[in-house]
Amino acid sequence: MAGDRFAERVRGIEISGIRKMFEGAGEDAINLGIGQPDFPTPARIREAAKEAIDRGMTGYTMNAGIPELREAVCEKFGRENALSYSPDQVIVTAGASEALHIVMEALVDRGDRVLIADPGFVSYAALAELAGGRAEGLSLDASLHLDVEAAKERMDGARLLVLNTPANPTGMVESEESVKALVEYAGDMGVTVVSDEVYEHFTYGKPHVSAARFGEDVVTINATSKTYSMTGWRLGYMAAPDAVVEECIKVHQYCQACATSISQYAALAALTGDQSPVAAMREEYRARRDLLCSGLAEMGLKFPVPEGAFYAFVPMGHDLFAKIVEKGVIIVPGSAFGTRAPDYARISYAASQDDLRRALARIAEAVLED
């Protein structure tokens, strides 16, 4: 089929570099490339899904999601984030990915500038461009945090600022002072802040702070995917002022209708039940982080120790990167996350300690050969 038969907005979008690495992994490869928890979904959540199936809860739900789940989301925001939302200000989505998509489609007009961290999560730029906008990268400082003053300089005339903390791919957690400064300045400049908080529960000493604490023109996006090891359940949610929700629900209604009914009942159990599995996962991630980072440091690799999520973002040249992949350790090049960190690699520690030890041994071989 001729190339000109395809929409220009799609032809200009590249397949995710993360997916390329993931799908190209060999049989004996140790996959430290994909950001997916390796824990089973907690048993009580799985049981809630089975019960929903047995009760016949398999039809369409309200577009915005079942009322009891939206109420639970609001209670979660109040309890954990000091945010006040009503159920009418919540849309349950097919993962945080759909939430990001519908926000971009509803708020971004052709040519609008969307500010994102560079390096930053792969979806932000692509979704902005699919919506007709122009993604613009914001620089990070030497510690891999957003350069707040540099971001302020780019704010004039922008439509959105996407804030991701804890951050993918860097694993950094923005301070309360930085989040407050960015949100308040964005409010003064008429820029809507989109706050992606999917890694909020995985921090290792530095607390997560929600952006909506500091301004009204903020869209808060989260999901059960990382927190409860429910990536395949595809269940996310967004909360925003009434006017934003009113426009976003239009896009959601026509592209999705509603999030999967069974996943909604599972998410209800996740948010309202015992939270100890989340704490247990966090402590295991902390142990894995320490194992990976100490091992890499012993090889002479220097990088900021991640404060959250489950990624280390490590400087390395192309030759070393290629050797590590040749040894059968799948990692993701910094070029997958923007234009400013080509000589970096993202290494996920959402893998067992045994796999991390095996991977470190292979990386050590590559370092010696480099």
Q: Are 119 and 313 in contact (CB under 8 A)?
A: yes
> For residue range 28-51, what is the model confidence (pLDDT) as tens digits?
899 999 899 999 999 999 999 999
Q: Are 182 and 191 in contact (CB under 8 A)?
A: no
pLDDT (average), residues 174-203 = 98
Residue 11's pLDDT is 81
Query: Which range (16-25, 94-103, 154-163, 305-314) has the least confidence?
Result: 16-25
> What does the CA dihedral 314, 119, 177, 173 come to, rounded to 10 degrees?
-50
Residue 25's pLDDT is 54
Long-range pairs for 339-343 at CB < 8 Å and ≥24 separation?
339/118, 339/137, 340/118, 340/119, 340/137, 340/139, 340/140, 341/118, 341/119, 341/313, 343/315, 343/316, 343/317, 343/318
Q: pTM for this one?
A: 0.94
Residue 349's pLDDT is 98
pLDDT (average), residues 15-20 = 57
- Residues whose CB is less than 8 angstroms from the CB of residue 5 and which lie 6 or more positions away in sequence, other chains included: none
DSSP symbols for 283-333: HHHHHHHHHHHHHHHHTT---PPP-BTTEEEEE--HHHHHHHHHTTEE-EE
Residue 23's pLDDT is 55
The yes-or-no verdict on residue 201 having pLDDT over 80 is yes
Residue 91 backbone phi and psi in degrees, to 5: -125, 125
> For residue range 241-256, what is the model confidence (pLDDT) as tens digits?
999 999 999 999 999 9
Beta strands in 192-304 (DSSP E): 192-196, 218-223, 236-239
Q: How confident is the model at residue 12 (pLDDT cuts 50, 70, 90)?
A: confident
Domains of the chain listed by start with CATH number: 8-41+276-369 (3.90.1150.10), 43-273 (3.40.640.10)
Query: Distance between CA 236 and CA 96 in Å, rounded?
Result: 5
> For residue range 45-55, what is the model confidence (pLDDT) as tens digits?
999 999 999 99
pLDDT (average), residues 124-152 = 97
Quote the DSSP letter at residue 191: P
Q: How confident is the model at residue 345 (pLDDT cuts 50, 70, 90)?
A: very high
pLDDT, mean over the chain: 95
Residue 10's pLDDT is 86
The yes-or-no verdict on residue 146 having pLDDT over 80 is yes
Residue 22's pLDDT is 54
Query: Distance between CA 114 and CA 104 in Å, rounded?
Result: 9
